[in-house]
């Protein structure tokens, strides 16, 4: 029989805890609010990072193979698609999809406005899932014809600025292969997309890869970039390094971190904010529980003296108060979980809190919380609070039966 647990369970919270009761309530509230805030913080940061990362990766790609060149302009050098190296990439179990694209800068001209744009040409094997999810009007271009397709997607921001809508024809001017004359292309807007990320919405049109091949004078087997989708994004850097070790001398590999370092550096800073919040909340809850335990011990000084007189050792008495403290921590965590999960599910399903997409890339606060993260937060809070209570529990050793009974 666990004597310490039995005594802790049967300590009546009535008369003898007159001063401890308000302190216990404060401790419960402190732990509840602290755990709720930790759940909310982790859910928001994980959701925010996943949302932004999925947008960037969905529009671009986790990795891309490009020609090795010192050219830093928008004009890409061609990459041959029929090489043995690309065949090996298709057999790589970490890679789920390869798709061919190319980019070319141009000027979009309407009746009264001009706008610098980048036409991103995509092949027939392009994964349209992300753009379908972010399509706000019209439809995805159809490139099934044998001739280069003239349909394009334009961003909602550019469409609003230039007063364009699906079905409108636009003329875009490009620099020719020899850079001696401008080449014009009359294209038709098939749909309008909105990613919420200005780096994309301010510049990119989505069209047929064959248009860019024709403009650049490339052969059908030449593209500007080979975009690579991976099975596990967390292994991206390791996968890129392995590919780089076997890549031909005339090719190079870039990751999404290289293409958009400012976005991912900003997202990494959010982890620091969460760590600071977690540490502060644990410290507040722990310090509150230390004060609560001291008050419990002081109010039970008489009981400590009686137990020592009856032969109980310090370790057993320590366990009594630690069990009592664990019960208080558990109550606070129960309410904290209820509050944290209430916010999580309310925001997840109803999007109660909104953001300015111009500044945050999303229109509402995204949340994401796995079962593993939820359990780790609870386990960490519980054990760290109890760990901090071990030191004040040694105060019991200083209580002698004579002084305790005299205090009683």
Do 292 and 328 contact (CB within 8 A), yes or no?
A: yes
d(CA 95, CA 82): 18
d(CA 140, CA 384): 53
Do 381 and 285 contact (CB within 8 A), yes or no?
A: yes
pLDDT of residue 13: 54
- The dihedral built from the CA positions of residue 260, 261, 264 and 270, taken in this order, carries a sign that is negative
Do 139 and 198 contact (CB within 8 A), yes or no?
A: no
Contacts of residue 396, Cβ cutoff 8 Å, sequence gap at least 6: 297, 304, 314, 317, 318, 321
pLDDT one-digit tens code per residue, 149-207: 999 999 999 999 999 999 999 999 997 666 566 788 999 999 999 999 988 999 999 99
Going by C-alpha positions, the residue among 318, 327, 321, 306 that lies closest to residue 394 is 318
Do 226 and 65 contact (CB within 8 A), yes or no?
A: yes
pLDDT of residue 180: 61
d(CA 244, CA 223): 19
Do 386 and 329 contact (CB within 8 A), yes or no?
A: yes
d(CA 46, CA 202): 27
Q: Which residues pair with 98 in a beta bridge?
A: 228
| Dihedrals phi, psi of 169, to nearest 5 degrees | -95, 140
pLDDT of residue 16: 46
pLDDT of residue 42: 94
- The dihedral built from the CA positions of residue 142, 147, 148 and 151, taken in this order, carries a sign that is negative
Q: Mapping DSSP to helix (H, G, I), strand (E, B) and coil, where does residue 29 land?
A: helix
- The dihedral built from the CA positions of residue 171, 177, 178 and 179, taken in this order, carries a sign that is positive
Contacts of residue 178, Cβ cutoff 8 Å, sequence gap at least 6: none
Q: What does DSSP say about strands 204-208 and 114-122: parallel, antiparallel, or unpaired?
A: parallel
pLDDT of residue 15: 45
**Residue ranges of the chain whose pLDDT lies below 70:** 1, 11-19, 71-74, 176-181, 401-408
The length of the chain is 408
Q: What does DSSP say about strands 151-155 and 182-193: parallel, antiparallel, or unpaired?
A: parallel
pLDDT of residue 400: 72
Long-range CB contacts for residues 296-300, cutoff 8 Å, separation at least 24: 296/17, 296/20, 296/321, 296/324, 296/325, 297/321, 297/392, 297/393, 297/395, 297/396, 297/399, 299/16, 299/17, 299/19, 299/20, 300/11, 300/16
């Amino acid at each position: 029989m666990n004597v310490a647990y039995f005594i802790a369970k049967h300590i009546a919270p009535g008369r003898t805890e007159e001063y401890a009761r308000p302190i216990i309530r404060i401790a419960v509230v402190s732990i509840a609010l602290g755990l709720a805030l930790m759940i909310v913080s982790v859910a928001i940061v994980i959701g925010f990072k996943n949302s932004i990362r999925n947008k960037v990766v969905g529009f671009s790609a986790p990795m891309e193979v490009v020609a090795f060149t010192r050219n830093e302009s928008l004009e890409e050098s061609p990459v041959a698609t029929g090489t043995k190296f690309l065949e090996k990439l298709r057999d790589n179990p970490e890679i789920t999809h390869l798709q061919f694209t190319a980019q070319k800068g141009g000027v979009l001209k309407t009746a009264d406005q001009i706008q610098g744009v980048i036409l991103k040409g995509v092949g027939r094997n392009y994964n349209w899932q992300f753009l379908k999810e972010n399509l706000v009007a019209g439809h995805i271009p159809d490139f099934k014809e044998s001739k280069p397709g003239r349909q394009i997607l334009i961003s909602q921001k550019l469409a609003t600025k230039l007063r364009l809508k699906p079905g409108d024809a636009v003329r875009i001017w490009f620099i020719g292969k020899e850079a001696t004359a401008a080449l014009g292309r009359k294209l038709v807007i098939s749909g309008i997309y909105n990613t919420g990320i200005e780096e994309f919405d301010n510049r990119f049109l989505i069209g047929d890869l064959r248009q860019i091949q024709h403009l650049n004078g490339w052969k059908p087997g030449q593209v500007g970039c080979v975009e690579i989708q991976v099975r596990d994004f967390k292994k991206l850097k390791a996968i890129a390094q392995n590919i780089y070790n076997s890549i031909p001398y005339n090719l190079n590999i870039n990751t999404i971190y290289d293409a958009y370092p400012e976005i991912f550096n900003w997202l990494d800073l959010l982890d620091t904010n969460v760590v600071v919040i977690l540490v502060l909340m644990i410290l507040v809850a722990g310090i509150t529980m230390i004060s609560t335990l001291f008050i419990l011990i002081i109010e039970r000084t008489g009981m400590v003296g009686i137990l020592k007189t009856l032969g109980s050792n310090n370790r057993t008495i320590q366990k009594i108060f630690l069990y009592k403290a664990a019960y208080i921590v558990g109550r606070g965590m129960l309410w904290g979980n209820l509050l944290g999960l209430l916010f999580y599910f309310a925001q997840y399903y109803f999007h109660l809190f909104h953001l300015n997409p111009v500044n945050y890339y999303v229109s509402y606060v995204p949340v994401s919380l796995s079962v593993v993260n939820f359990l780790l937060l609870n386990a960490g809070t519980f054990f760290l609070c109890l760990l901090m209570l071990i030191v004040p529990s040694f105060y019991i050793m200083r209580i002698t039966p004579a002084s305790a009974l005299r205090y009683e």
